[in-house]
Structure 1
Amino acid sequence: MARFLAIGAVTLVVLVVATNLLAGQAADREALAEARTINEVLAESVAGPLLREKLVLGNPAAIDAFNRRAVDQFDVQVLSQVNLWSSERLVYSDNPVFAGQEFELGQERQDVLENGGTGQVYTDETAQTLLTEDADGTVQIFTRIETPRGTPLLFEGYYSLEDIEERRAQIYRPFMWIIVGALVLLLVLVTPILRVLTKQVTSAAKERERLLRAGLEASDAERRRIARDLHDGVVQDLAGTSFSIAAAAREPELADGVRASLHAANQAIRDTLKSLRALLAEIHPPEIQADGLASSLADLIAPAGALGIQASVSVEGAETATDTQAALVWRVAQEAVRNALRHAHPSTIAVTVRSDGKKLVLEVVDDGVGFAADAAPAADRYGLRGMSSLVRDSGGRLEVRSSAGEGTAVRLEVGVDA
């Protein structure tokens, strides 16, 4: 439960930060949009109806009349200064020192004056000159308007960033609590669902592992039964027959040809017994113990000699492993050696086991025909592929490296229990 709460808390923090960032950006845009709307309303509804051509020409009486009639209506909290621009000069400003002077409008103002609409800039050179207060704390918003005769002018307002930020906070605050509340509610609702789903996945994984182990145990039990039946039945019968033939071959009155036939038959039976015992070891391996791993692996590669294959076993430090880990090493080695003998046609096979006290490593290397790494897995390599699941469940790692004509290397690595 603690893990789910931790995951939920981290998720909540990430979501809150992300949504707050997005909501803050939206509030910024909305607060600035409100300032632009104010500027457009003042330009079109207040300044526009009061415009006269004499004002554009700089007539002092027209300027004074415009100022007296409009000044009260320009008294907006977020607005700190108003300018009226023509294409040539500053027509009007509530900072009268600069009225009538020529200034460089800048590209943004020129574009709006020529094409219409509303634009904005932050603290440009013109603002620094005209504004008696700190221009760094303002944004300049300008809207195009026209005189009754169609002369274009630019209505410009200086808006306080502090006031805009305050308005942003007013817009943002309710949404913040809504967002946080919704996320908390979502977390409360989703966490139990995630917990149930994770529990189901965990249970399914445990059930899969249980079925896998049950399947392996059932397979081992069946292997033991078959091995026992073969050992107690066919093997014992063949052994008894071998002894009987050997005894019969020693009878002095037998002809030499008959005696030779009996010896040949007895040798054939003994060879069959060896093959059966090797088959029994494959069907059900002996109880593998860490201190007997070297001899068990030596028995495993014994059939290689009959095929003219040079095989070797080297075991170092395996006594630090458990019997279960030793059995896993033997089973992987069995599959690797079996595949090599059946399919690789090697001239050498080397089985190496070593441990440094922390991990147990098995390597089975042959110089056979190998296979292409990108080739589809062959059906006859199913046994080794099936070992991968068992190795993973045991906390180990199985790797098969091969290329056509370059042999095959099988490597198992599993941690040694402390």
Structure 2
Amino acid sequence: MPSGRRHLIRSLVKSPIARFLAIGFVTLVILTLGTNILATQAANREALAEAQTINEVLATSVVNPALPSGMAMGLVKGNAGSLDRFDRIIAGRLDLDSLKRTYIWSEQGVVVYSDRTELIGRDFGLTPEQQRVFDEGGTGQLVEGDPSTTAPALTAGTDNIVQIFTRIEAPNGTKLLFEGYYSLDGIEQRRQQIYEPFNFITVGALVLLLLLVAPILVVLTRQVKVAAFERERLLRGGLEASDAERRRIARDLHDGVVQDLAGTSFSIAAAAREPDLSPNVKTSLMSANQAIRDTLKSLRALLAEIHPPEIHADRLAAALADLTAPASALGIQASISVEGAETATDQQAALVWRVAQEAVRNALRHAQASTIAVTVRSDGKVLVLEVVDDGIGFAADAAPASDRYGLRGMTSLVKDSGGRLRVDSAAGEGTAVRLEVAVDE
């Protein structure tokens, strides 16, 4: 993948606006799907409830009033005159687009009236649900495909229907069951009519919320970025001021005390070479000269800590040697090995130096080591630093507070630079600090 595309992807992943919009989109999809399921179920129930209401209205307001006691008995007995009179009374009153077929059942399961005259008088029996409504009253339903649906002859010529039946009762107490076959297509249309406004309100509200919140988030993000930039500017200014002060102190020490001590060392060395000096005096002068030289090394190491030198990859070995210079005065044998560091950038070399500085400083101050080995190597892809000592080591939870602070600082520095830092140590087993950072191609 090209680096430009990778950078764009990283920018989008880190952008709070992109994250908000992504989370908002996922939330919108989840809520929309959940709302669709719940709304569909609710709309189906409502559409079927409306169909039941229509059937009840037809049963109680159209069919039942057209059935006086004598006519109801005539229908049950199959009287042709009663059937003809009833058909003329309700003719046209049951013409609804969603109503595909009508039946009136006797308690024995006989069709006493239907818009399909060839089925009148036939005994098909009642389904358990129809029998329940006959016994308890009210309204029931059977959806096409239900294993308890009625005989195929009753549903012949109809597709995708629901059967809804309501008990009616003539003035003389004769109980009948009015049944209508309603098209599920019509119910589905009604379901859509119920569902779509609700879906529009739900999804529209969520989309509107995203549209309203996104500009606010953009403004807030810009304000945060401005504040972060200002904070970074102030921090950078403070660091630059501190760096300038450290440079001044280091310059004054180098041009003053260090030069004076160096001159004193040369003078003492010259005086020690006088031929007429006694051996005791010459020995004292040489000891004093060595002490001054050791002090100079310590001062130069201190100057490097006060103001680190500008580190370049080709001068990394010399800079690391300066770091370990104080080791000899403490009786510690220090070794430096640098191979392949030329492929690293100056920024990576500076990172290696800073980590090595902290590791060597801790080893000199706390490790009680006899040897310190600083190794830098690179295979062209990864730059590796290892600082190993044979000191007393430490347990991770028992490290001195100053060491823990230094370790946290190193870890943060390495993480910000895209590298990996590992510190291995145990009581009595020395310490090994390992840094790995990818070499920029």
User: What TM-score range do you get, normalising by the shorter chain?
Assistant: 0.7 to 0.9
The corresponding residue for 2:301 is 278
Does the 8 Å CA contact 1:311/1:350 hold for their aligned counterparts? yes
CA deviations over 1:24-54 (Å, ceiling 9, x no partner) = 7525522541331331453367249568897
Q: Is 2:78 the partner of 1:60?
A: yes
- Native 8 Å contact 1:138 1:160 kept in 2: yes
Q: Which amino acid aligns with 2:100?
A: S
Residue identity in the other structure for 1:163: G
How far apart are the structure 2 equivalents of 1:273 and 1:58?
126
Identify the match of residue 192 of structure 2 among 169, 189, 205. Answer: 169
Alignment correspondent of 1:230: 253
Matched residue SS, 1:399: strand
- Tell me the distance in 2 between the aligned counterparts of 1:404 and 1:191: 52
2:332–2:371 Cα contact (<8 Å) kept: yes
2:261 corresponds to 1:241: no
Does the 8 A contact of 1:316 with 1:354 survive in 2? yes
User: Matched residue of 1:197: which SS?
Assistant: helix
Q: In the alignment, is residue 38 of structure 1 matched against residue 51 of structure 2?
A: yes
What are the superposed Cα offsets for residues 295-326 of structure 1, whole Å, 9 maximum, x if unpaired?
32233234445556565444333212222221
Decide whether aligned partners of structure 1 residues 320 and 169 sit closer, same or farther in structure 2, where only a CA change above 3 A counts. Answer: same
Give the secondary structure class of the aligned counterpart of 2:309.
Answer: coil
Written as runs of structure 1 = structure 2, the 5 A alignment for 1:123-272 is 123-125=145-147, 126=149, 129=152, 130-135=154-159, 137-141=160-164, 157-175=180-198, 182=205, 185-250=208-273, 257-272=280-295
1:334 equivalent in structure 2 = 357
Report the RMSD for the aligned CA atoms in angstroms.
4.7
1:131: Cα distance to partner?
1.3
| Structure 1 CA distance for aligned equivalents of residues 139 and 349 of structure 2 | 82
Q: 1:372 aligns with which of 396, 406, 410?
A: 396
The more displaced of 314-323 and 364-373 is 364-373
Q: Identify the residue that residue 316 of structure 2 maps to in structure 1.
A: 293
Structure 2's unaligned 5+ residue stretches are: 1-10
Tell me if structure 1 keeps the 8 A contact 2:126–2:150. no
Within 1, Cα distance between the matches of 2:41 and 2:393?
Answer: 70
From 78, 91, 97, the equivalent of 1:77 is 97
Q: Give the TM-score taking structure 1 as reference length.
A: 0.75
**Alpha-carbon contact 1:121-1:140 (below 8 Å) kept:** yes
Equivalent residues of 2:297, 2:326 under 8 A apart: no
29 and 10 in structure 1: CA distance in 2 versus 1, 3 angstrom threshold: same
Q: Does the C-alpha gap of structure 1 residues 201 and 159 become closer, same or farther in structure 2, counting only changes over 3 Å?
A: farther
Answering whether residue 422 of structure 2 is matched by residue 400 of structure 1, we say yes
CA distance in 2 between counterparts of 1:296 and 1:156 reads 99
Return the TM-score normalized by structure 2: 0.72
1:179-217, Cα deviation, whole Å (9 max, x unpaired): 666556545433322222222333344344444444443
CA drift of 1:226 comes to: 2.2
Q: Quick one: which amino acid aligns to residue 338 of structure 1? A: R
Offset at residue 291 of structure 1 (A): 1.1
Question: Does the 8 Å CA contact 1:123/1:138 hold for their aligned counterparts?
Answer: no
Q: Does 1:381 align with 2:404?
A: yes
Q: Cα–Cα, structure 1 residues 226 and 92, in superposed 2: closer, same or farther, change >3 Å?
A: farther
Q: How far apart, in 2, do the equivalents of 1:172 and 1:371 lie?
A: 66
SS of 2:181's equivalent in the other structure is strand
Once the two structures are superposed, residues 252-279 of structure 1 have per-residue CA deviations (whole angstroms, 9 ceiling, x without a partner) of 6655555444443333333222222222
* 8 Å Cα contact 1:39-1:156 kept in structure 2: no
Q: How many angstroms apart in 2 are the aligned matches of 1:361 and 1:140?
A: 80
Amino acid at match of 1:218: A
Per-residue deviation at 1:331? 0.9
Q: Distance in 1 between matches of 2:46 and 2:400?
A: 64
SS at match of 1:301: helix
The percentage of aligned residue pairs carrying the same residue is 59
Maintained 8 Å contact 1:36/1:141: no
- The one-letter code sitting in structure 2 at the alignment partner of 1:319 is E
What amino acid is aligned across from residue 371 of structure 1 in structure 2?
Answer: A
Structure 1 gaps of 5+ residues are none
Report the residue type matching 1:132 in the other structure: A
Partners of 2:171 and 2:329 in 1: CA distance: 114
Letter of the 2:339 counterpart: E
Question: Quick check: 1:399–1:412 contact (8 Å CA) kept in 2?
Answer: yes
Contact 1:112 1:118 in 2 (8 A): no
Moved more, 196-205 or 184-193: 184-193
Kept in 2, the 8 Å contact 1:138–1:158? The answer is: yes
Give the number of equivalent residue pairs: 413
Using the TM superposition, name which of 31-40 and 360-369 deviates more: 360-369
Matches within 5 A, 1:297-316: 297-304=320-327, 307=330, 311-316=334-339
Letter matched to residue 30 of structure 1: A
